[in-house]
Amino acid sequence: MAVSAPSPIICTWCNAVSGRERRETSTEWWDRIVMQLWDDEQWVQNFRMRKATFLELCSELAPALRRKDTNMRSSLTVEKRVAIALWKMVTPDCYRSVANQFGVGRSTVGVALTQVCTAINRVLLRRTVTLGNVSEIVDGFAAMGFPNCGGAIDGTHIPILAPDHLATEYINRKGYFSMVLQALVDHRGRFTDINAGWSGKVHDARIFRNSGLYRKLQGVILGVPAYPLMPWLMKPYTGNLDQSKERFNYRLSRSRMTVECAFGRLKGRWRCLYGRLDLSENNIPAVIASCCVLHNICENRGERFCPVWETEAQRLEEAYEQPATRSIRGDKGEASRIREALREHFSHALP
């Protein structure tokens, strides 16, 4: 993901007299300026969360991240290790730049990123990316116009560098290397199920059929034509559409937009996802999953989302256009009867 410079950092190093930027030593910058002087606005702009949320996150991860000092050096604090990882996920900065920012070695940045993402997924994934209150979700989608719906599903391609092994398997239909994130979201755009790590060449339907979601799902979800029509998965009509089918598609699309909005906010917050992730293919799924966990934490805590983040992400992501979905045909049986019943219901219901 070739990306531009990060959102401007609220002025913390500026020399008000001369107007020329002056930077403290990196260690002092973190220990004194960031931790002691930054306000919530600066924390949100640079770490995507307020300081209180950051400290709560560190507290949750501390048992998994705390390291002992050695005779050679003192270990990084949990807070600094988490901050390094978040900074790398938020900004397009290279490892050397992040290392200089925090006064650590270049390799330390990669180690911190891997350690923190591993800890996030081990400690927080299962209790953060979860279905939650089903009746509330169903009511939420019903208010959007689609009854008995428990979520919306879609996939998005995350650009990556060419892998060392089986690189051609990662080339998607747009011609760049990618991994796919498949996600189910609720009516508020929170991730309730994720599957990250499939190569960009793999069709959405295959990812879906091999996911835990396919094997355990109960309730109706909404998808794009690339997914199979099933009694519990509704997708749009394709081909020649009459007025009733168009109305069905409109109802479905209006509710399914929640997953597209969630992807937009995810990539807007964590800008490592709209450039080419400079990691080995074995570590990328953990980073993607961690970004989803952090997205839910920010949404649940009411962290402010700046629209300009998403606008910038959309602009920069134009270099990596999402591949068009390939429709699956041959929808028959009970699933078709259910969709026809819904179409008939919508044709007699108010818009």
DSSP string, 218-274: -SEEE--TTSPPBTTEE----SS--HHHHHHHHHHHHHHHHHHHHHHHHHHH-GGGG
| Tokens (6 digits) for 303 | 């962290």
Burial environment of residue 332 by CB neighbours within 10 A (0 to 12, 13 to 18, 19 or more): exposed
78-83 contacts at long range (C-beta below 8 A, 24 or more positions apart): 79/35, 79/54, 79/55, 80/30, 81/112, 81/115, 81/116, 82/54, 82/57, 82/58, 82/116, 83/30, 83/34, 83/47, 83/54
pLDDT score at 217 = 60
In 3D space, the residue among 265, 272, 275 whose CA is nearest the CA of residue 185 turns out to be 265
Torsions phi, psi for 15 (to 5 deg) = -90, 110
> In sequence order, what are the residues at sequence separation of 6 or more whose Cβ sits closer than 8 angstroms to the Cβ of residue 139?
none
Strands (E), the chain: 149-159, 178-185, 191-199, 220-222, 233-234
Q: Tell me how far apart the alpha carbons of residues 249 and 146 are, in angstroms, rounded to a whole number.
A: 11
Place of tokens 């979601």: 213
Give the length of the chain: 351
pLDDT score at 164 = 85
Q: How many CB atoms lie within 10 A of CB 308?
A: 10
**Spatial contact of 17 and 289, defined as CB atoms under 8 Å apart:** no
In 3D space, the residue among 273, 279, 321, 274 whose CA is nearest the CA of residue 162 turns out to be 279
pLDDT score at 215 = 58
**Spatial contact of 130 and 122, defined as CB atoms under 8 Å apart:** no
Place of tokens 């000092």: 69
Q: Tell me how far apart the alpha carbons of residues 293 and 192 are, in angstroms, rounded to a whole number.
A: 10
SS3 234: strand
pLDDT score at 66 = 83
pLDDT score at 68 = 53
pLDDT tens per residue, the chain (351 residues)? 333 333 333 333 233 223 333 344 467 899 999 999 999 999 999 999 999 999 999 999 999 998 754 444 567 999 999 999 999 999 878 899 999 999 999 999 999 999 999 999 999 999 999 988 999 999 999 999 999 999 999 999 999 999 888 899 999 999 999 999 999 999 999 999 999 999 999 988 889 888 876 655 657 999 999 999 988 999 999 989 999 999 999 999 999 999 999 999 999 999 999 877 778 888 999 999 999 999 999 999 999 999 999 888 888 778 888 988 777 766 668 899 999 999 999 988 766
Place of tokens 């609720």: 186
**Spatial contact of 222 and 140, defined as CB atoms under 8 Å apart:** no
